[in-house]
Amino acid sequence: MVGSPEHIVCCSCGKRVGRRRAPPECPYCGGTKFIKMDPDERLGKGPWWVKEYERRRRVEGE
């Protein structure tokens, strides 16, 4: 299946936890909130990027 790759990223620690499905909790920090992100967009970012990402998604979605 060829398409745009997406990573499932933990909102607490910023680490990739999956590709297609999110686990029940993050194996690194135990967090339970995840977002889907393009791998190129995620490069070099820590956990602080979550609010910026959600704000940008809200603005673009309106």
pLDDT for residue 26 = 92
* 4-62 pLDDT, tens digit each: 568 888 888 888 898 888 889 999 999 898 888 876 666 555 556 666 777 777 776 55
State the residue for tokens 């609010």: 51
pLDDT for residue 14 = 81
Q: Which residues pair with 9 in a beta bridge?
A: 16, 35
Of 50, 2, 11, 13, the C-alpha closest to 34 is 11
CB 12 within 8 A of CB 26: yes
**Residue that wins the pLDDT comparison between 6 and 3:** 6
Query: How many Å is the Cα radius of gyration of the chain?
Result: 12
Which residues lie closer than 8 Å to 3 by C-beta, 6 or more apart?
Answer: none
pTM for the model: 0.57
